[in-house]
Amino acid sequence: MLRLGVYKLPIAEVILVRTIVRLSANDAGFAWQLVDVPPYDALLVDGPAVEHEYSRVVGMAAAVLRLTRMNAGGVQPGTMERPIRADRLQQWLRSIEHALREAQPGGLTLHEQTALEMEVSDAERFMLRHWPPAMLLRNDLDNIRMASLLARRALNASELADISQLPFDQCVAFLHALKKAGVLELHVEPPMLPPVPRSEATARGDFARSLINGIRRRLGL
């Protein structure tokens, strides 16, 4: 289930949204529930009430919808005019659900999972080129933790799993989502060559030369 929150809405509108979500739940394809506490996947806010704190509010959820006055004119993206209509709210929630599913790291096909597991090796480390989009992070603490680690240093999937203490498969899936979003930088370490074995005769010769050189230094030669 995806989590819908409300912020600074009048109580009458909160009750209306709660009713719409509850009735929509009768549709098996409806994946939303109204929650009172974060984290939120989507958030409905009172546009005028959050005008001076929108930069903070927009970080509270992957998608934020501002409710504006009736007939405000010039409707902008991310806004919806009052009154709240069930069909428009449902349409917006479904569009957000689709975007979240597309960006969700766990939503990999079997082919993608197999390809990525073959691609991510201990020699391949990844580091963030820039911070991932909110749609990908989904305000999820695990995703934010992994992104923070990758912003500091280059890590392979095993290292990311060890440091974050999260399942390896989850880390692999998140790396794949970051790579698809174009925010990862690849660091490939050259393979280490095995040491060349030294023969016993070579070792004895080195020791003899070292001994002779030491004697010469003592004698001032």
For residue range 203-213, what is the model confidence (pLDDT) as tens digits?
555 555 555 56
Low pLDDT (below 70) residues in the chain: 72-75, 103-123, 189-221
Q: If we measure between CA atoms, which residue out of 176, 179, 158 comes closest to residue 168?
A: 158
Q: Where are the alpha helices (DSSP H) in 64-199?
A: 86-103, 110-119, 134-137, 141-152, 157-164, 168-180
- Given a contact cutoff of 8 angstroms between Cβ atoms, the answer to whether 46 and 9 are in contact is yes
pLDDT number for residue 103 = 66
Between the two ends of the chain, the Cα-to-Cα distance in Å is 84
Name the fold adopted by 107-221: Arc Repressor Mutant, subunit A (1.10.10)
Distance between CA atoms of 150 and 177, rounded to whole angstroms?
A: 13
Cβ atoms within 10 Å, residue 22? 11
Radius of gyration of the chain (CA): 29
Q: What is the pLDDT of residues 72-113, one digit of tens each?
A: 665 577 889 999 999 999 999 999 888 877 765 555 444 444
- Given a contact cutoff of 8 angstroms between Cβ atoms, the answer to whether 206 and 200 are in contact is no
- The boundaries of every CATH 1.10.10.10 domain in the chain are 107-221
Distance between CA atoms of 62 and 32, rounded to whole angstroms?
A: 14
Q: Which backbone phi and psi does 185 adopt, to 5 degrees?
A: -115, 130
Name the burial class of residue 39, with classes exposed (0-12), middle (13-18) and buried (19+) by CB atoms within 10 angstroms of its CB: middle
In degrees, rounded to 5, the angle at the alpha carbon of residue 154 between the alpha carbons of residues 152 and 155 is: 110
Distance between CA atoms of 90 and 31, rounded to whole angstroms?
A: 11
The reported pTM is 0.52
pLDDT number for residue 111 = 44
Name the fold adopted by 2-103: Rossmann fold (3.40.50)
- The boundaries of every CATH 3.40.50.2300 domain in the chain are 2-103
Cα dist from 180 to 95, 142, 173, whole Å: 20, 19, 11
pLDDT number for residue 55 = 79
